[in-house]
Amino acid sequence: MRPSRPPPPPPPRRRPQLLYRQAGSATDAYNLAESETKAQSERIVQIAKLVVAGQDRISTLKDRAGAAARAQYRSNGLPPGARLALSDSPSDFLDGAGRLRQGEKATTDLLAELNRTQADLERYAKDAGAVWQKMEENRVKKEAAKKEIEGKIKAAEDLESRLAAEEKARLLQLEQEAQYQAQTAWLSSGAMKDVKGLASDAGKRAVQFATAQMGKPYVWGAEGPASYDCSGLTSQAWLAAGRPIPRTSQEQLRLLPKVALKDMRPGDLIIYFDDASHVGMYVGDGAIVHAPRPGRNVTMAGAGSMPIKAVVRPDA
């Protein structure tokens, strides 16, 4: 049996597109690590505040314990039985014994609270250690993703730089023709036949924001206002509409409610490709606004110009 041969390389005009797609996947990994790092940094700040509050509480409890000890010393620390024998008035003693029992309970409660607060501080320290570990893991992921992104983009740009001006124009024309053919085939399939959904108020605001960014350049990892990557555009558009959503296209797919294509309405997000590495916002009439890839600007495109994986709704 002959060994299987590796798949043939893509034709030259498709190689830059493939590299940009791979850079897009790596960008999603970078953005996810970045958003997790932000959340972990916020958690570290919260833990630090809890530690300070816990230390202040322990200081207060120790002061109270010291005051109780000094009060006991002033009473010579005599046990209740001895004080009863030495008391001139049994009724005064009984009143004092009641107060003593209350004081003993208060001391017991104080020590229990002190122990609980110290246990809390130990737990905070463990939590902080775990968060720092995750932050370090995300730092490593970000560095690896950044290296991959920059490598893929440089390789694609190097390929494009070797092309003559006429070849570059032809490459762009072929790319646009492929998108047009995909969109035409998608519309011809009847995919849009039953799509008549109307945008919600929040969806209108999200669409208004996204379309206002048209013409701004794609920059990987960017969330505006001067440039965007694909999920940076969609997440910021919905943030402007008052609905914070996950930062990356993969997390948008995972965490936002899915809707059927026929129920799609303006403002919904269309996730593309099997690895969910690209996202655009549906704006109506079979079109999306999206940040395509490095070297391109935020623009309109056909909703079916790329392989659709799912449709999700931020304001379900």
Residue type for position 91: S
User: Is there a catalytic annotation at residue 278?
Assistant: yes
* Residues whose CB is less than 8 angstroms from the CB of residue 212 and which lie 6 or more positions away in sequence, other chains included: none
User: Is there a catalytic annotation at residue 177?
Assistant: no
State the catalytic residue, choosing from 21, 146, 152, 290: 290
State the catalytic residue, choosing from 278, 293, 309, 313: 278
Helix/strand/coil (H, E, C) string of the chain? CCCCCCCCCCCHHHHHHHHHHHHHHHHHHHHHHHHHHHHHHHHHHHHHHHHHHHHHHHHHHHHHHHHHHHHHHHCCCCCHHHHHHHCCCHHHHHHHHHHHHHHHHHHHHHHHHHHHHHHHHHHHHHHHHHHHHHHHHHHHHHHHHHHHHHHHHHHHHHHHHCCCHHHHHHHHHHHHHHHHHHHHHHHHCCCCCCCCCCCCHHHHHHHHHHHHCCCCEECCCCECCCCECHHHHHHHHHHHCCCCCCCCHHHHHHHCCEECHHHCCCCCEEEECCCCCEEEEEEECCEEEECCCCCCECEEEECCCCCEEEEECCCC
User: Is there a catalytic annotation at residue 290?
Assistant: yes
Q: What is the C-alpha to C-alpha distance for residues 298 and 179, in angstroms, rounded to an integer? A: 16
State the catalytic residue, choosing from 230, 256, 298, 312: 230
φ and ψ at 194, to 5 degrees? -105, 10
Contact in structure between 21 and 306 (CB atoms under 8 Å): no
Q: What residues are annotated to the active site?
A: 230, 278, 290
